[in-house]
Chain A
Amino acid sequence: MIKSTGKASTIARTLMSRTGFSSSGIILIAILAVLPFIPPFNSEYILRWLVVGAFMAAQAVAFDLTAGFINVVNFGFAAILGVGAYTSAILANTGPHIIVQPGISPWIGIFIGAFASAFLGFILGFLTLRLRGLYAAIMAWFVGIALLGLARTLTPLTRGSLGMSPPSFFDTPSNMPYYYLALGMMITIYIVTKLVTTSHIGLAFKALGQNFDAARASGINPTFYRVFNFTLSCFFAGLLGGFYAHYFVSMTPKAIMHTSKSVETLAIAFIGGRGFLWGGIVVAFPFVFLLEYLRSALPQLPGIHIIIYGVLMILVMIYYPNGVAGFITELKKKLWRLRKPEKT
C-alpha cells in the first residue's frame, strides 16, 4: 500500500518535471483557476481580460515552439491561426450570407480548423526548409500576407472585409465558461509542447536552431524535425483560431490575420523569454491587463499598445535577451547558491 503510493508519487514527480510544472508553476495555475471568484476579477468586464490573457498566453507558447527552439520567427502565425478560425466559422455557418451552410458544431469545427492550420504549417515547413533564420521568417511573412489576401478575396466563403459572425460555443453571455476553456487550452498546449521539447525531439529542435550544419553532421534530419515543428505549432494556432471565432463571434481578416497580430504574439513570447515556453504565460496576463487599462484610460491614443510593445521589446533585447523567464531562472539559481553553503 505504502509502496504503491510511493511509486505513484515518483511517477507524478517525474511527469511533473517532464511537463515542466515546478511547484511555483502549480501555484500559478491554481491562482489562475480561482481568480474569477476573487474581486475585482469576478466582474464580467475584467473576466474578459482574463480570457484574452489566457488566449494570448497559449498563443505565445505555441509561437515559442518555433521561434524559441528551431529559431525561425513565424510571422505568418496569426494568418495560420486565422485559417483555423475561418475554417471553423465557415463549417458552423447556417445563415444565408455565405454560399455554404454546413452547420457543423463549433466543437467539431475547431478540430477540423486545427487540422487545416496544421496542414498549412506542414506546407510552410517545407517552404522555409532551405532558408535560414531571417529568410525563413520573411517567407513565413509572405505566406501570411497571401493567406490574409485570400481571406479578403474569397468573399463567397468569408464575406471578405465585411466579416463573419460565427455562433458561440456556449449559450450564455457569461465569460466564465470561456475562461476555463481558454485556460484548459493553454495548459494542454503547454503540457504537450513541454513533453515534446523535453524529449530528444526537443534536443533536435534546439540543435537545428543553434547550429544547423553541426546538427546535420550529427545525424539530425532537418526536413523531418522542422516540418514537424511547424505542423505542431500551427495545429495549436488553428485550435486557438477556432476559440477566437466562437468566443468573439465577430471576425474580419484584418482583425485576426494581420502581421501585426503575429508581432503581438512575438512580443509576449520574446519578453517572456525565448525557448522557455512558460515565460509567455507569466507575461501575457499582466500585459493584457496593462494594455486594456491603457486603452480604456487613454482612448485618445489608440496606438499606445504598439508603442509599449516596441519599447519593452527593445529593452528586453538589449538588456535581457533571455526575457522574464531567463531572469527568474537566474534569480532562482542565485538564491539556490546562497542557500547551499548553509546546508553543508
Chain B
Amino acid sequence: MLPISCFLPIWTSLNHALKCKGIRMVILQVIDMVKKFGGLTAVDKVSLQVEEGQIFGVIGPNGAGKTTLLNCITGAHKPTSGIVNFLGEENLAGSPPEVMCKKGISRTFQISRPFPRLTVLENVTVGAAFGAQSHARESAEERALEALEYVHFPLPEDTMAGHLNAVQLKRLDLARALAGGPKLLLLDELAAGLTEGELADIMKLIKRIRERGITIVIVEHIMKLIRGVCDTIAVLDYGKKISEGKPEEVMRDPKVIEAYLGE
C-alpha cells in the first residue's frame, strides 16, 4: 500500500494548476463579436476571454479592427452581433458607453479626446465624478488629484487641456479613465509616439495599475511593450482572430508572421 502522503505532491500541483487556469475568474468574455460597416466586416466573429488581473494584449496590422473591437466592448459602437459578458453580467453588448463605464469599464482613445476648455484637474474630475466609483467617500476632486499623481502627470493641474501636447493628452486620458475607479481598463495605443524612456515609464505604470487589481486590455503596435507587460495576446487580421497565446508563442506563429509581413 502506498502511503497517502505520496499523493500529496500530485494534489498540490493539480491544485496549483487549477488556480492558475480554471479557478481564476473570467472578468470579460466576448463571444462571436461581429461588426459590419456597410459591406466591410471590421470585426469578424471574434471571441476573447480575459481573466481578472490579467494584462491582455490585442495586436494586428493597421485597419485590423482592434479599435472597432474596443468600441464594441465599451458600447461606443453597437455590434452587428455577438455577446459581451462582464463581471458575471451577461449579454451587455449594445449597452450605451455611459452604462458600461458605470459597470466598471474605462477606456482611453487612440486619438486622445480631452475636454479642451477644461483644466487638467476638471478633465480628470469628470472621470471621477461620473465613473464606476462615483459614489466613493472621498470627493471627486480628491480622487482626480490622486489619479493625476498616480500617472505622474507632468504639468500643473490648472493647465487648460487644450494646451497639452499629444503625449500629455494620452496621460490625461489615462488619468481620467483611472479616476473613474474601473475594474477593467481598455488602452488604445497608449504608447504611440513615446521615446524609449517614456515607454519604460509607461510599462512600469501599466504594471502598477494591474497591481491595484485592475484588469487591462491593451491595443498596441509597439512589440517591446507587448512583450514586456502582456500575459496573453490575441492577433487580429482583417477582423479575424488569427492567433492567441503567450506573447513569445504567438510571435512565432507563421500566420502572425505572414500577416505582419503582408502589411
Complex interface: chain A residues within 8 A of B176 (CB)? 214, 218
CA gap between A275 and B118 in the complex, in Å:
11
Complex interface: chain A residues within 8 A of B125 (CB)? 203
Q: Which of A185-193, A205-213, A235-243, A334-342 touches B?
A: A205-213
Whether the Cβ atoms of A220 and B109 lie closer than 8 Å is: no
- Nearest to B139 among chain A residues (CB) is A200
Question: Does B132 have its Cβ within 8 Å of any Cβ on chain A?
Answer: yes
Q: Place the interface of chain B in its size category.
A: 20 to 34
Whether the Cβ atoms of A211 and B115 lie closer than 8 Å is: yes
Complex interface: chain A residues within 8 A of B102 (CB)? 219
Whether the Cβ atoms of A275 and B117 lie closer than 8 Å is: yes
Complex interface: chain B residues within 8 A of A206 (CB)? 115, 117-118, 122
Question: Does A217 have its Cβ within 8 Å of any Cβ on chain B?
Answer: yes
Question: Does A46 have its Cβ within 8 Å of any Cβ on chain B?
Answer: no
- Nearest to B107 among chain A residues (CB) is A217
Complex interface: chain B residues within 8 A of A203 (CB)? 118, 122, 125-126, 129
CA gap between A221 and B130 in the complex, in Å:
9
For residues 116 through 145 of chain B, which have their beta carbon under 8 Å from a beta carbon of chain A? Answer: 116-118, 122, 125-127, 129-132, 134, 140
Complex interface: chain B residues within 8 A of A218 (CB)? 98, 101, 106, 126-127, 130-131, 176, 180
Give per-residue flags for B59-82: 1 if the beta carbon is below 8 A from chain A beta carbons, else 0. Answer: 000000000000000101000000
CA gap between A218 and B140 in the complex, in Å:
13
Which one, B116, B129, B140, contacts A210 given CB within 8 A?
B116
Q: Place the interface of chain A in its size category.
A: 10 to 19
Complex interface: chain B residues within 8 A of A73 (CB)? none
- Nearest to A200 among chain B residues (CB) is B129
Complex interface: chain B residues within 8 A of A97 (CB)? none
CA gap between A221 and B134 in the complex, in Å:
13
Whether the Cβ atoms of A221 and B98 lie closer than 8 Å is: yes
For residues 216 through 246 of chain B, which have their beta carbon under 8 Å from a beta carbon of chain A? Answer: none
Complex interface: chain B residues within 8 A of A207 (CB)? 115, 118, 126
Which one, A204, A219, A222, contacts B131 given CB within 8 A?
A219
Q: How distant is A209 from chain B, measured CB to nearest CB, in Å? A: 8
Question: Does B57 have its Cβ within 8 Å of any Cβ on chain A?
Answer: no
Whether the Cβ atoms of B101 and A219 lie closer than 8 Å is: yes
- Nearest to A210 among chain B residues (CB) is B115
CA gap between A213 and B71 in the complex, in Å:
11
Whether the Cβ atoms of B122 and A213 lie closer than 8 Å is: no
Whether the Cβ atoms of B113 and A220 lie closer than 8 Å is: no
Question: Does A216 have its Cβ within 8 Å of any Cβ on chain B?
Answer: yes
Question: Does A215 have its Cβ within 8 Å of any Cβ on chain B?
Answer: yes
- Nearest to B173 among chain A residues (CB) is A214
Complex interface: chain A residues within 8 A of B127 (CB)? 218-219
State whether A220 and B98 are in contact (beta carbons under 8 Å apart), knowing that A207-B126, A215-B126 are contacts in the complex: yes
Whether the Cβ atoms of A217 and B76 lie closer than 8 Å is: yes
Which one, B96, B109, B131, B132, contacts A214 given CB within 8 A?
B109
Complex interface: chain A residues within 8 A of B106 (CB)? 217-218
State whether A217 and B140 are in contact (beta carbons under 8 Å apart), knowing that A206-B118, A210-B117, A211-B114 are contacts in the complex: no
Identify 24 residue pairs between A and B in the complex whose beta-carbon atoms are under 8 Å apart, listed by A's number. A200-B140, A203-B118, A207-B118, A210-B118, A211-B113, A211-B115, A213-B97, A213-B109, A214-B109, A216-B76, A216-B96, A216-B98, A216-B101, A217-B74, A217-B109, A218-B101, A218-B106, A218-B126, A218-B127, A218-B131, A218-B180, A219-B98, A219-B180, A220-B130
